[in-house]
Amino acid sequence: MRFSTTSRFLLLLAALSVLPGDLARAASPSLGSITPRGAQRGTTVTLLFSGARLDDAREILFYSPGFAVQKLEVVNVNQIRATVAIAADCALGEHAMRVRTASGISELRTFWVGALPEVAEKEPNSELATAQKIPLNVTVTGVVDNEDVDYYAVECKKGQRLSVEIEGMRLGNTLFDPYIAIVDSKRFELATSDDHPLLGQDGLCSIVIPADGLYYVVVRESAYQGNGACAYRLHVGTFPRPQAVIPAGGKAGEEIEVTFLGDPIGPIKQKIKIPATPGVKYGIHAQDAGGISPSAIPFRISEVGNVVEVEPNDTPANATASPGPVAFQGVIDKPGDVDHFRFQAKKGETYDIHCYARRSGSPLDPVMTLSVLGGGAIAANDDAIGPDSYFRITFPEDREYLLSITDHLGKGGPTYFYRVEFQPVRPTATLSIPKVSLFSQERQTITIPKGNRMATLFSVGRANFGGEVAIVPEKLPAGVTLHAENCAANLDVVPVVFEAPVTAPEAGVLTPVGLRHADPKHPPIAAAFSQQVELVTGGPGQSVYWAPSVSNLAIAVAEESPFAIDIVEPKAPLVQNGSMQLKIVARRKPGFTAPITVFPLFNPPGVSSASAVTIPANGNEVLLPMNAAPNAQARKWKTAVLGVSDAGKGPIWVSSQLATLEVATPFVVVANLSRSAVEQGKETEMVCTLQQLTPFEGTAKVQLVGLPVHATTAVADITKDTKEVIFKITTTKDTPAGIHRNLFCQITLMRHGEPVVANSGYSELRVDVPIVKTTPPPPPPAAGTPPPAPAAAPPKRLSRLEQLRKEQEEREKAGNPAPPPATPKK
Amino acid sequence: MKDTMSRLLIALAVAGSLASVSQANEPAPTSLQVFPPDVQLTSSRSQQLLVVQAGYADGLTRDVTAKAKLTLANPALAKIDKGIVTPLADGATELVVEFGGQKVSVPVKVKDAKLDRPISFKLDVMPIFMRANCNSGGCHGAARGKDGFRLSLFGFDADGDHYRLTREQPGRRINLALPSESLLIEKATGKVPHTGGARIKEGDPYYNDLIRWMEAKAPNDPATIPTPVALDIYPRKAVLDGKGETQQMTVRATYSDGSVRDVTSLALFLSNNDNSAKISENGLVTANERGEAFVMARFATFTVGAQVIVLPKGLKFTWPNVEEKNYIDTLVHNKLKNLRILPSEVCDDETFLRRVTLDIVGLLPTQEEYTRFMSSKEPNKREKLVDELLGRKEFAELWVLKWAELLQIRSSQQVSYKAMLLYYDWLQDRIARNVPVNEWVQELLGASGGTFKNPATNFYQAETDILKVSENVAQVFMGMRTQCAQCHNHPFDRWTMDDYYGFAAFFSQIGRKGTDDPREVIVFNSKSGEVTHPVTRQQMKPKFLGGAVPDLKGEDRRVVLARWLASPDNPYFATNLANRVWQHFFGVGIIDEVDDVRISNPASNPELLAELGKRFTAYKYDFKKLVRDICTSRTYQLSTRTNPSNEGDTRNYARAYLRRIKAETFLDCITQVTETKNKFPGLPNGARAVQIADGSISTYFLTTFGRPMRETVCSCEVRLEPTLSQSLHLLNGDTTTSRIASGNLIGRRLAENKTPAQIIEELYIRCVSRRPTAVEMERLLKLVDTEKDKKQALEDVFWSLLNSREFMFNH
DSSP string, B657-686: PPEEPPHHHHHHHHHHHHT-----TTS-TT
Q: Which amino acid is at A3?
A: F
Predicted local confidence at residue A821, as pLDDT: 45
Q: How confident is the model at residue A797 (pLDDT cuts 50, 70, 90)?
A: very low
Note whether A180 and A192 are within 8 A (CB). Answer: yes
Contact state of B421 with A224 under an 8 Å Cβ cutoff? yes
B700/B716 Cα distance (integer angstroms)? 20
Does the beta carbon of B682 lie under 8 angstroms from any beta carbon of chain A? yes
Measure the CA–CA gap between B419 and B240, rounded to whole angstroms: 57
Q: Tell me how far CA of residue A335 lies from CA of A181, A314, B331, B396, B446, in angstroms.
A: 25, 12, 51, 34, 17
CA distance B328 to B629: 8
Mean pLDDT of A638-654: 92
Whole-number pLDDT of residue A781: 53
**Phi and psi, residue B511, nearest 5°:** -95, 145
Residue A552 has pLDDT above 90, yes or no: yes
Q: Output the pLDDT for position B119.
A: 93
Q: Which of residues 440-459 of B touch A (CB under 8 A)?
A: 448-449, 452
Bridging pattern class, strands A350-356 and A417-424: antiparallel
Q: Which residues on A lie below 8 Å from B522 (Cβ)?
A: 365, 409
Decide: A570 and A628 in contact? Cβ < 8 Å. Answer: no
Instruction: Name A549's bridge partners.
Output: A532
Q: How does DSSP classify residue A326?
A: S
**H-helix segments, B566-711:** 573-586, 606-618, 623-632, 663-674, 700-704
pLDDT band at A735 (very low <50, low <70, confident <90, very high): very high
Cβ contacts of B515 on chain A, cutoff 8 Å: 365, 386-387
Classify residue B807 as exposed, middle or buried by CB count within 10 Å of its CB (0-12, 13-18, 19+).
Answer: buried
Q: Tell me the nearest-neighbour CA distance from A522 into chain B, angstroms.
A: 38
Does the pLDDT of residue A10 top 70, yes or no? Answer: no
Asked if pLDDT for residue B569 goes beyond 80, the answer is yes
Minimum mean pLDDT range among A769-783, B274-288, B481-495: A769-783
Tens digit of pLDDT for each residue in B391-401? 998 999 999 99
Amino acid identity of A491?
L
Of B414, B518, B524, the CB nearest to A409: B524
**Is A787 near chain B, with CB under 8 Å?**
no
Give the minimum alpha-carbon distance from A215 to chain B in angstroms, rounded to a whole number. Answer: 24
Is pLDDT at A389 greater than 70 in this prediction?
yes
Tell me, what's the pLDDT at A531? 96
Q: What is the pLDDT of residues B171-200, one digit of tens each?
A: 889 999 999 999 999 999 988 889 888 999
Q: Return the DSSP state at A548.
A: -
pLDDT digit string (tens) for B274-323? 999 999 999 999 999 888 999 999 998 888 999 999 998 888 888 988 99
CB-based contact A382:A367 (threshold 8 Å): yes
* Spatial strand order in the sheet of B51-55: B31-35, B51-55, B61-63
Would you say residue A9 has pLDDT above 50? no
- Asked if A541 has any chain B CB less than 8 Å from its own CB, the reply is yes
Say whether A223 and B418 touch across the interface (CB within 8 A): yes
Q: Check if the interface score ipTM surpasses 0.85.
A: no
Catalogue the E-assigned strands of A674-718: 676-679, 683-692, 700-705, 711-712, 716-718
Query: Which residue does chain B place closest to A546, by CA atoms?
Result: B517
Edge to edge, what strands does the sheet with A138-143 contain? Answer: A118-120, A138-143, A231-237, A161-167, A204-208
Nearest CA distance, A200 vs chain B (angstrom): 7
Per-residue pLDDT of B323-364, as tens digits, reads 999 999 999 999 999 899 999 999 999 999 999 999 999 999
- B397 min Cα distance to partner chain A (Å): 19
How many CB atoms neighbour CB B317 within 10 A?
14
Bridge pairing between strands B84-87 and B78-81: antiparallel
Q: Average pLDDT of A258-262?
A: 97
A308 has a pLDDT exceeding 80: yes
**How is A119-166 classified by DSSP, letter by letter?**
EE--S--SSGGGPEE--SSEEEEEE--BT-EEEEEEEE-TT-EEEEEE
* pLDDT of residue B222 exceeding 50: yes
Note the helical H segments in B192-231. 205-215
Please indicate if any CB of chain B lies within 8 Å of the CB of A408.
yes
For β-strands A553-558 and A446-449, DSSP reports them as: parallel
Q: What angle do CA B440, B442, B444 make, to 5 degrees?
A: 70
Per residue in A75-119, pLDDT (tens digit) is 999 999 999 999 999 999 999 999 999 999 999 999 999 999 999
d(CA A529, CA A511): 9
Q: What is the pLDDT of residue B720?
A: 83
- Which is it for strands A118-120 and A138-143: parallel, antiparallel or unpaired? parallel
Res B380: pLDDT: 93
Confidence of residue A23 (pLDDT cuts 50, 70, 90): very low
Q: Does B376 touch chain A (CB under 8 A)?
A: no
Average of pLDDT values for A449-461? 97
Residue of chain A whose alpha carbon sits nearest to that of B687: A147
Predicted model pTM:
0.83
Query: B516 and A365: CB-CB below 8 Å?
Result: no
pLDDT of residue A232: 97
A540 vs B682: CB contact, 8 Å cut-off?
no
Q: Looking at the predicted structure, is the pLDDT value of residue A528 above 70?
A: yes
Question: Per DSSP, what are the bridge partners of residue A113?
Answer: A39, A93
Q: How many CB pairs under 8 A join A and B?
A: 56
- Calculate mean pLDDT across residues B690-702: 88
Distance, in Å, from the CA atom of B159 to the CA atom of B140, rounded to the nearest integer, reads 16
Which band of pLDDT confidence, cut at 50, 70 and 90, is reported for residue B22? Answer: very low
